Structure formats: C-alpha cells, structure tokens
C-alpha cells in the first residue's frame, strides 16, 4: 500500500533557510523510492517549483524516470510569525488542482508579499474572501492554530474550499509529536474532515538533519546552543522508503482510507508547468496588422533605410529565411517588443545596442536592435533561433548605464506592473559566505571570522577549497592562541561544504525582464524587490528559459554612457557632431594606436592581457579586432589556440585544416576555432551531431554552472569525442576542441557577440585616438566603470601629453571639463569635484550657484560665509586641499572646517597651531585619500628620491618606458605602484600584477611557486619592488618575477602604510581599486 506513496508536504531549500535539501536531491530520492507523486510547497512562494520541474524533466530525458509525478503548491503563513520555530508557525498549504488553481495560488502569493520580501503572510480574513477555485488546502500538523481543535477556522476553510480542506497527519517517532496525532484525529472527527498521511518533509534523507539545524542557526543569527528550540527533535522529516512508511503509518487508525484519499487527490491534480500558455505583449501592433505582418512591414522599412534602398540579394534571402522561421515559431511579437523598447530609447537619445547571439539576426539589424551588418559578416542565425530547438530567443540589449533606469521605468509604465517584472537572481552560499555562516553558528568570534575572511580573500587561497582555508585558519589560530578553546575545524569544513550552493535569498537579475500579454499571476507570483520601484518574479533566468518563457535583458554598459558623453563633448568643444554610425571605418591612425597598445580606457581591449596581445596580433582591420576581443577568453586560452593563431597570422606557420570538411568553417580564423559558432559547426561536420544536438551542446556550455557541468556536459563531450574519432579527426585537434568546449563553459564568445563588442571597442578607440582629452573626461565622468581607476586614467592622459588642471574651488564643476587659455592652445583637463571623497553632487550645485553670485572666493572665511555647508562636506573640501588657492594650507583649512558652524568661528579665528608643512610623499598620500589621485609628482618617483626603503640600491631599478631598450631574458629590477592584480582561472595558478611608475606600466607575472613564497607582500603592499627576467614578444613585455623585496628598514618609511595600520576604525584606503571588466 505504501509502495506508491503520495507525499503532499515537501520543502526544498528554496524555502529559504528552512528546507535542507536541493530540489534535485528530493526529486531523485522520491523517484528512486518509487513514490507516485511529490507535492512541492515551499514557504510563501513558488521559488523551487521550476527547479523541481527541470529536475524531473532531466530524469525523463535520461530514462531515469520511474513514474514520479510533480504536484505544485505553496505553504503560506497566516500571520507574520516567521521568527518562531517552524513547528510553531501558523501556515496553510495550498495545492493547485488545475491551471485556474495555479493562477489563484499565484495571486494569493503575490498578495502575501504585499509589504515586501520578508514576513509574507496571508491573513485568514483575506483568504476567506478570496477566489480559491482549483485549489485544495492542507492544514499541516504544525503551528499553534492546530492545537485548538474547536477553532472555527476549520469549518470556514472547509466551506471555502468546498470540502477540499484536509488535515495533515505525520508521525516522526517523537512522543511529543505523537500526541498531536490524537488531537488531529479528534479535530477531524469533530469537524468531519479527512486527513492525509504525510511525512512533512524538510530534507531528503536523515544525513541532512545537521544542515537543517545549521539553517535554523543562520536564520535566527545565533550559535547552535542558543537556538535548539528551532531544531526538529530528530531527523525523521525526510523521505522514507515504503517499508519504513508501512511501519510508521500502519498503526494510524483509518490509514487505508487516508491513502486512498491521497491517490484520488493525486488523480485530480491535473496541473503541470508545461501547460502554461505564454505570449508576449502585442499592444505595439497597429490596427490592421497582426504581429507577423507588422514585423514584416517594419523589416521592409528597415531594409530600405539601412541599405539605402539597394539591399544585397544575400541580405534579402537571409531576411526571408529568418521571417519564415520567426513566423513558424510564433516569435514575431517578441521581436516587436524589443524593437518597441529600443525605438523608445533611441527617441530619448539613449545609446543602446544589442549584443550576444541576437547579433546573428539580420532582422534584428534592420530593426535597429543590433549593429552587426550581416552583409559584412557570415553570421549564423541558427545560433540565435532554430526550428529544431524551438527555444525562445534571447535578446540582450545594452543601454547607457546611467540611463538604464529610465528604460526600466518605461517598461513598467508601458506594460503595467502586473505584466512586467524583473527576473530573480538566486543568491547562494558560496566559499567565504558559507564558511562565515557556519563559523558563526559554531560560535567563532568576530576576530576569528575576520581572520577567516582575510585568508579566504587572499589571492593565494582563492578558489583553493574550503579545506585549505580552514586548515590555514586552524594553523594561524592555534599558533596565536595556544590556550584557546577547542574549535571543531572538521565540522566547520564539512558543514561549509554541505551548505555550499544553498539559496540564501532572492536577488534581482542584472537586467532580465519578463513581459507577458496577460497578468503575470497567471504564470508565477511576483514580489516587490528590495530596490524601490521594481517588482521581481520568483524564478531565475534558468527557470524561465527551461519553461520556454521569453525574457529581454535590459543591460547597462558604462562605455555607452561614456561614448554618448564623448559625442556631446566633441560637439561642444570641437564643434564636430559624431555618432556611432558616422565614425569612419578602417581609420588607420586608430589601428596604429591599437597596435601600439595605447588602449588605456577603451572598451574590451584595455586589460593587461589584451594589451599584451595587441602588439603581437597587430589588428589592422575590423575583423582583427573581433578576433582580438574573442581570443583572450578562457575558452580559446584553454583550447591552446592563441599561439597557433599568432604563428599563422604572422606567416610563421602554414594555414592548414585538420580536416577538409572544416575548411569553410575555419577559413576566416586561419584554421583555428575561436568562436562558439565554430565549435558548434565542427560538432555537426565531424562529430556526428545533429544541429539540435549542437545547439544543446552550446546551450549547456553557455548556461550551466560548474556544479552541473559533469552531469550535463560530459555525456555530450564524450559523444563529440567519439564522433570525431569515427570521422578520423586528428587526435590533437580533437583534444583542442574538447579543451575549448570546457573553456567555453566558463566563458567563451560567440562571433556575433564579439562583433557587437568590437563595434563599441572600435568606436572608443577612434574617439581616444582623435579626441583624447574629450575621451578621457567622458570616461572619467562616467565612473564607476571600466578597468582602470580615475588615477590610472589621469596618469595615462598625462603621459599622452594632456595637461591636467587641479580641482579648483573657483573653477571646477561637478564633472571634469576641458579648458584652454587661448583658442590656439590644446585643451587641458580641469578635474571636477566628483573626485572628492564624501562630497555630494547637491553640495557642489550649491557651491556653484553661490560662486556665480560671489564671483569667486579669495579666502576660507569668505567661502564659509557664502556657503553654509554641513561639516563633513566642508572637511571633504578642505581635505582635498582646495583652500590653498584661498590662502589656507590643507591643515589650516581642516582645522577651521572642523569648527563648523562658522559664524562664531569667524568671530574668534583659532589659528594657535603652527601646522607643519607637508612632506612630498605625505602630501601625495593625503591627496589620494581625499580625491583618489594626485597631480603632484608620481609617488614612485618621490619614494625613489626621498624615502627608499628597500635593500637593493635604487640605481639598479629601471623605469617602465626604458624596458623597450633593454635586452630580453635578462634580469631587471622594477619598482612601482600596484594597479591591478589578476589570477584568471585559466592561468593555472599564475598571478599577474600591473605596476605603474612615473613613466608607464610594468607587467609582472608570478609563477605559483614564487607567488606562494611572496603572497603576503604581493597581496598587501601598495608598492612592489621586484627582480625578474624580462620577457618580450614584439613590443609587449612582461617580467617573470623571481623575488619580491620587503622593506629593509621600518615600515614607517612609507607613511601610506603606517597610517593605514594605525587608524583602526578608518576604512582602509586603497590607492587603486581594480575592477572586474564586463
């Protein structure tokens, strides 16, 4: 009787900090135990439903399915008692019988979240007046409401659900809970209710009990010993096999009747997620058109406009092919929706451009969504949409990062809050986060947690696994505290690993929007996001893709903001109007600049790795730039294609093809596979893959994380290897392709995406080449963005001969501007107030208004009389040394500013202290703290001249711009300020550091052995002094470090470090903050 059990109450770990098992584990176990059905009902949401659906789908596709059916529901709190132990919270489980019921459930869940993400609840009074058709309800054998068997709500709920209201009856081998069985049976008898047997599952097997307890400790923010009342008494809330179920439940009176009820309920549950009908909005379609015909109309108009009424035959054929496919797959309204948004943005002068696989579409090009002209490139539309795959297309559009919010609010306004919502992003416990959470639960004190955090953040231990981090922590801790209390290091480690990947809370996707033609409640619940003015659905990008829903990615790109600003500046300062379309193609001076790797600040090809590649690749045309953008990625790097490609391009190696059949695919890339599309085509040509399988391969490598990598991708890779072997492909090439596939799983570019990015990269290079001053201020005025800090950008500008003018109380604006003393002279950059730490834009507006009225200020007192600023704003100005031009040194101005408010101060000026003049390095250091950079002498030069602390004579050190003259393979000494540190996963433990001195950059490379020896210095020193072997290929260089020098004398020779240490509570100031690139 129990062999085909129906389980009705089951929480996944998407019942955040309650359920202690992944959806996959629950589905797999229920399936393997031969259950007939499993009903997922997470607390207050549908968070885990789509994951469970995907898991069951996986089992079905891989012939592992044993008949398990999934039922869908949710457990809703009846009041905001979430802080109580789970056993005392009053809840009600609602299960969907059909689609109507599912819609009603989503409506109730959305209402439950009316006040925010936390404490979602559905008051009984609201529920009793709600539409619950298609739903049935179960009262769990938990909560305080259950204890009152005479309560009237039983009768009310029975009436509301038209008799479909049941009591849950669970047995967990605990006498206290066993007593509830009696109460439940009495309640059932009293109110003539049926009861159903359920295990009330919170984890899939008993071993997960400790995770369940851990989650409670995290949820209540206490250590284990202090939150035992939140734990389940034992580990019985798991999925049991049939024989155990028999033993547990056959002692319950009327169990046969209850099992029969479960069977029939399961039969009545006719809803599955694949029944959800989904359509895109259609309001942009004018009368007289349907979606397809209107799309056709817009495409025709776009063709005429883009190709000046002479469209090439190839394009017309391609467009026709695409339109047929779009019609067959019924995707026209999706294209129209994206077109509508992009058109609106263009009308608002917001720069935007489609990226990713959408750039493979000619339709997208003529609609103005993407900028990749299909006439110039051989694009693969099937990479974007394919008949065989039938998957929804995914169009990602980049907008200016400073104006993306306008686009988002337009979408809400146009489609309504009930039909538009952002996609969720599930924030999970990972690495340091899970170690920290477990450490806290085990009672580790703040100091120990900070120490752990420091170790885990160290580049040396990053990605090295929980075990290594905990062991390093243990060694440090036991060395420092030999008498300290014993800590369960092993448990810390084990639990952190078990917690890894558990959902922590729901975030918001960076730009994914879901739109529908009907209220989203028909599809899934929504809740208000923590960011004001936004609502979010409860599923992630992967979930909605798996269910075939469309989403549009409204992404932000800092470079688009910078380019738009640059166009405006060029118009204003140089009286020249430029646009993305009017930038000339193939500008040779731009390519000459790129070849010299003068690309600080430009898009994509600015990183250290890209810059070292440029002199070797020497891009001379746009497609070279496309290759450059795509080749420095983990995919091609792991596929070991960079050196063969360079050799072929430079004529050092003949262009050959591993197989004749691959020539058309690899011709443009000299016989080397660089792009995702090529890997797909190779799989079809010589791997015995169908187009559908190749797409499946692409999808897997593109969208699955490392956790799923082995399960999902490996079978396909095995098939590919076998196929290539059968097709007599050279083993070396097969190995290379397989390596590349694994690399793509981390990060690889489709060609269309590389082309899209290259367009922006080229535009930014052109602007930098021809209007460098305008380019630099546009980048600086769009911060934060890009790879380099404002300091690095300004230093680069200075080296390129642009004069920099300091921030000035009487001349600067909020933004950086260009100034010149006469029309004959070149523009100089006047730094803006935006660099000043702690100064708000509103304050600057006030200052500028007053400045106009006062016609500038000649003294501090004059300034404060006019501008009544808050003390922190005034001190921020003083700390930036802005009152020097008004006659007060930084120290004097700070001393005066701290005495704000000013009126009494002006009456009795307190200048009793005779402040010492600042030393050179001290002054630079203060500049950095106050406004992120310094226009004084480069700190490296000052240290070399005045405060050299290293054991090697300063004369031995070379400067960066002399590297070109020095012989390769010789040892050289280098000293500089640390700009960027990188240790890409594909570099096999190598660490790359960029140093800056007064003349340029040093590129340092550390082998794992050298890094492990000196990592404490490399990770923590703002300046590095090294010796290493100079390596050079063409004009690019790097230094393979052999040794890092520590200070010879006391560290106080570098005040920058000493002061950071001595001021404990001050946020530590880093000179340069490296940023991740797009």
Interaction site with other proteins (CB under 8 A): 85, 87-88, 144, 172-177, 179-180, 206-207, 209-210, 213, 224-225, 228-229, 231-236, 441-442, 488, 490-491, 494-495, 875, 879, 890-891, 894-895, 898-899, 905, 910, 912-916, 918, 922, 925-926, 929-930, 1055, 1059, 1062-1066
Nearer to other proteins, 308 or 908 (CB): 908
**Closest CB to other proteins among 132 and 442?**
442
The CB-of-127 to other proteins minimum distance in angstroms stands at 25
Helix axes 153-160, 175-191, angle to 10 degrees: 60
Closer by beta carbon to other proteins, 172 or else 191: 172
Q: If DSSP codes are grouped into helix, strand and coil, which group holds residue 979?
A: strand
- Quote the least distance from Cβ 498 to other proteins, whole Å: 9
> What span, in angstroms and rounded, lies between the C-alpha atoms of 222 and 76?
25
Burial (0-12, 13-18, 19+ Cβ within 10 Å), 977: buried
- Is 580 or 1051 the residue whose CB approaches other proteins more closely? 1051
Q: What is the 3-state secondary structure (H, E, C) of 167-234?
A: EEECCCCCHHHHHHHHHHHHHHHHHCCEEEECCCECCCCHHHHHHHHHHHHHHHCCCHHHCHHHCCCC
Which residues are within 8 A (CB) of 637 and not within 5 positions of it... i.e. 6 or more apart? Answer: 743, 984, 986, 987
Q: How far is the CB of 381 from other proteins (least distance, A)?
A: 54
Comparison of 480 and 1066: residue with beta carbon closer to other proteins: 1066
Q: How far is the CB of 1 from other proteins (least distance, A)?
A: 22
Looking at the Cβ atoms of 744 and 860, the one nearer to other proteins is 860
Tokens of 630: 């795509």
Report, in angstroms and rounded to the nearest whole number, the Rg of the chain calculated over CA atoms. 33
Cis-peptide into 901, omega within 30 deg: yes
Q: CB-wise, 571 or 946, nearer to other proteins?
A: 946
Nearer to other proteins, 171 or 403 (CB): 171
Query: Minimum Å distance from CB 1066 to other proteins?
Result: 6
Cα separation, 817 vs 803, in Å, equals 12
Least separation, in Å, of the C-beta of 918 and other proteins?
A: 7
Closest approach, Cβ 443 to other proteins, in A, equals 9
Beta partners for 503?
Answer: 428
- Pick between residue 728 and residue 912 the one whose CB is nearest to other proteins: 912
Q: How far apart are CA 652 and CA 378, in angstroms?
A: 27
361 alpha carbon, distance to own chain's centre: 26
Cβ 783 to other proteins, closest distance in Å? Answer: 22
Closest to other proteins by CB, 210 or 554? 210
Nearer to other proteins by C-beta: 821 or 912? Answer: 912
Q: How far is the CB of 1068 from other proteins (least distance, A)?
A: 11
Q: Could you tell me which residues are beta bridge partners of residue 553?
A: 396, 512
Of 625, 624, 716, 710, the C-alpha closest to 679 is 716
Strand, helix or coil for residue 362: helix
Are 619 and 612 spatial neighbours (Cβ–Cβ below 8 Å)? no
Report the alpha-carbon distance of residue 422 to residue 323 in Å, rounded.
28
Q: Helix 291-306 to helix 313-329 angle, to the nearest 10 degrees? A: 160
State the minimum distance, in angstroms, from the CB of residue 219 to other proteins: 16
Long-range contacts of 125-131 (CB under 8 A, 24+ apart): 127/78, 127/92, 127/160, 128/156, 128/157, 128/160, 130/104, 131/104, 131/107
Pairing relation of β-strands 971-982 and 828-830? unpaired
The least distance separating other proteins from the CB of residue 491, rounded to whole angstroms, comes to 6
Report in angstroms how near the CB of residue 437 gets to other proteins at its nearest.
14
The dihedral through the CA atoms of 336, 339, 341, 344 has a sign that is negative
Please, what is the minimum distance in Å from the beta carbon of residue 204 to other proteins? 15
Q: Which is nearer to other proteins, 538 or 933 (CB)?
A: 933
First to last CA, the chain: 57
- Nearer CB in complex with other proteins: 196/442: 442
């Amino acid at each position: 009787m129990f062999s085909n059990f129906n389980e009705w109450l089951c929480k996944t770990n998407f019942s955040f900090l309650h359920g202690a098992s992944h959806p996959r584990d629950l589905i797999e176990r229920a399936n393997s135990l031969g259950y007939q059905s499993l009903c997922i009902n997470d607390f207050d949401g549908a968070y885990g439903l789509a994951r469970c659906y995907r898991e069951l789908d996986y089992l079905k596709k891989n012939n592992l399915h044993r008949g398990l059916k999934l039922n869908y529901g949710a457990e809703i709190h009846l009041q905001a008692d979430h802080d109580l132990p789970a056993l005392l919270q009053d809840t009600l489980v609602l299960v969907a019988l059909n689609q109507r019921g599912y819609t009603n459930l989503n409506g109730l869940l959305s209402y439950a979240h009316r006040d925010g993400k936390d404490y979602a609840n559905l008051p009984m009074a609201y529920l009793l007046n709600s539409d619950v058709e298609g739903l049935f309800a179960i009262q769990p054998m938990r909560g305080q409401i259950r204890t009152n068997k005479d309560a009237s709500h039983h009768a009310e709920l029975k009436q509301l659900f038209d008799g479909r209201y049941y009591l849950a009856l669970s047995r967990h081998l605990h006498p206290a809970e066993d007593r509830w069985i009696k109460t439940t049976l009495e309640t059932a008898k009293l109110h003539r209710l049926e009861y159903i047997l359920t295990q009330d599952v919170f984890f899939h097997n008993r071993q997960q009990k400790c995770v369940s307890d851990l989650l409670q400790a995290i949820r209540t923010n206490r250590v284990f010993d202090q939150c035992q009342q939140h734990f389940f008494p034992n580990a019985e809330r798991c999925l049991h096999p049939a024989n155990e179920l028999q033993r547990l439940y056959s002692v319950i009176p009327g169990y046969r009747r209850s099992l029969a009820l479960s069977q029939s309920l399961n039969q009545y549950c006719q809803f599955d997620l694949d029944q959800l009908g989904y359509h895109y909005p259609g309001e942009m379609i004018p009368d007289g058109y349907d979606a397809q015909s209107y799309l056709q109309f817009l495409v025709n108009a776009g063709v005429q406009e883009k190709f000046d009424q002479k469209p090439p035959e190839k394009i017309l054929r391609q467009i026709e092919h695409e339109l047929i496919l779009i019609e067959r797959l019924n995707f026209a309204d999706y294209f129209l929706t994206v077109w509508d948004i992009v058109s609106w943005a263009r009308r608002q002068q917001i720069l935007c451009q489609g990226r990713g696989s959408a750039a493979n579409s000619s339709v997208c090009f003529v609609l103005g969504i993407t900028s990749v002209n299909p006439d110039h490139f051989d694009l693969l539309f099937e990479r974007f949409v394919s008949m065989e795959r039938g998957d929804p297309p995914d169009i990602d559009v980049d907008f200016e990062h400073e104006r993306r919010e306008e686009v988002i609010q337009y979408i809400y306004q146009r489609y309504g809050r009930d039909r538009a919502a952002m996609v969720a992003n599930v924030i999970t416990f990972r690495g340091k986060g899970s170690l920290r959470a477990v450490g806290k639960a085990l009672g580790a004190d703040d100091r120990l947690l900070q120490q752990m955090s420091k170790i885990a953040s160290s580049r040396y231990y990053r990605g090295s696994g929980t075990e290594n981090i905990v062991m390093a922590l243990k060694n440090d801790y036991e060395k420092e505290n030999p008498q300290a209390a014993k800590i369960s290091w092993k448990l810390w480690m084990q639990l952190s690993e078990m917690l890894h990947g558990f959902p922590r809370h729901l975030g918001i996707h960076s730009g994914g929007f879901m739109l529908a033609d009907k209220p989203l409640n028909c599809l899934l619940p929504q809740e208000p996001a923590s960011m004001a003015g936004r609502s979010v659905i409860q599923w992630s990008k992967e979930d909605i893709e798996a269910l075939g829903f469309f989403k549009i990615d409204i992404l932000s790109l800092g470079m688009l903001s910078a380019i738009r600003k640059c166009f405006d500046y060029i118009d204003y300062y140089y009286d020249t109007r430029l646009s993305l379309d009017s930038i000339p193609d193939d500008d040779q001076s731009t390519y000459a600049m790129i070849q010299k790797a003068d690309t600080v600040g430009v898009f994509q090809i600015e990183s250290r790795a890209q810059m070292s590649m440029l002199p070797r690749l020497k891009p001379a045309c746009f497609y070279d730039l496309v290759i450059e953008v795509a080749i420095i990625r983990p995919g091609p790097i792991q596929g070991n294609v960079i050196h063969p490609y360079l050799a072929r391009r430079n004529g050092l190696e003949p262009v050959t093809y591993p197989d004749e059949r691959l020539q058309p695919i690899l011709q443009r890339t000299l016989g080397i596979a660089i792009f995702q599309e090529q890997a797909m085509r190779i799989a079809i040509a010589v791997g015995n893959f169908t187009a559908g399988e190749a797409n499946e391969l692409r999808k897997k490598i593109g969208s699955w994380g490392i956790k799923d990598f082995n399960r999902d991708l490996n079978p396909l890779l095995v098939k590919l290897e076998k196929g290539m072997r059968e097709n007599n492909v050279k083993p070396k090439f097969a190995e290379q392709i397989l390596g590349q596939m694994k690399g793509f799983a981390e990060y690889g570019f489709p060609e269309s995406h590389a082309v899209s990015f290259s367009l922006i990269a080229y535009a930014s290079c052109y602007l930098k080449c021809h209007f460098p001053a305008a380019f630099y201020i546009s980048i600086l005025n769009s911060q934060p963005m890009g790879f380099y800090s404002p300091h690095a950008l300004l230093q680069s500008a200075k080296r390129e001969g642009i004069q920099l003018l300091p921030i000035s109380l009487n001349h600067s604006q909020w933004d950086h501007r260009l100034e010149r003393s006469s029309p004959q002279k070149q523009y100089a950059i006047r730094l803006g107030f935006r660099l000043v730490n702690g100064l708000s834009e509103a304050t600057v507006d006030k200052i500028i208004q007053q400045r106009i009225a006062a016609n500038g200020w000649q003294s501090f007192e004059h300034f404060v009389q006019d501008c009544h600023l808050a003390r922190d704003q005034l001190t921020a100005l003083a700390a930036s040394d802005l009152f020097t031009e008004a006659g007060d040194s930084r120290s004097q101005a700070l001393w005066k500013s701290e005495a704000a408010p000013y009126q009494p101060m002006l009456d009795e000026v307190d200048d009793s202290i005779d402040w010492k003049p600042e030393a050179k390095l001290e002054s630079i250091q203060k500049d950095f703290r106050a406004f992120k950079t310094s226009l004084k002498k480069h700190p490296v030069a000052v240290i070399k001249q005045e405060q050299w602390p290293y054991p090697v004579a300063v004369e031995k050190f070379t400067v960066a711009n002399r590297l070109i003259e020095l012989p390769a393979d010789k040892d050289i000494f280098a000293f500089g300020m640390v700009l960027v540190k990188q240790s890409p996963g594909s570099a096999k433990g190598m660490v790359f550091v960029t140093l800056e001195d007064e003349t340029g950059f040093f590129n340092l490379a550390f082998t794992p052995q050298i890094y492990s020896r000196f990592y404490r210095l490399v990770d923590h020193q703002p300046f590095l002094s090294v010796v290493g072997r100079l390596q050079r290929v063409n004009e690019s260089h790097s230094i393979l470090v052999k040794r890092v020098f520590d200070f010879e004398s006391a560290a106080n020779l570098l005040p920058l470090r000493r002061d950071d240490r001595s001021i404990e509570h001050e946020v530590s100031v880093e000179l340069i903050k490296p940023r991740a690139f797009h």
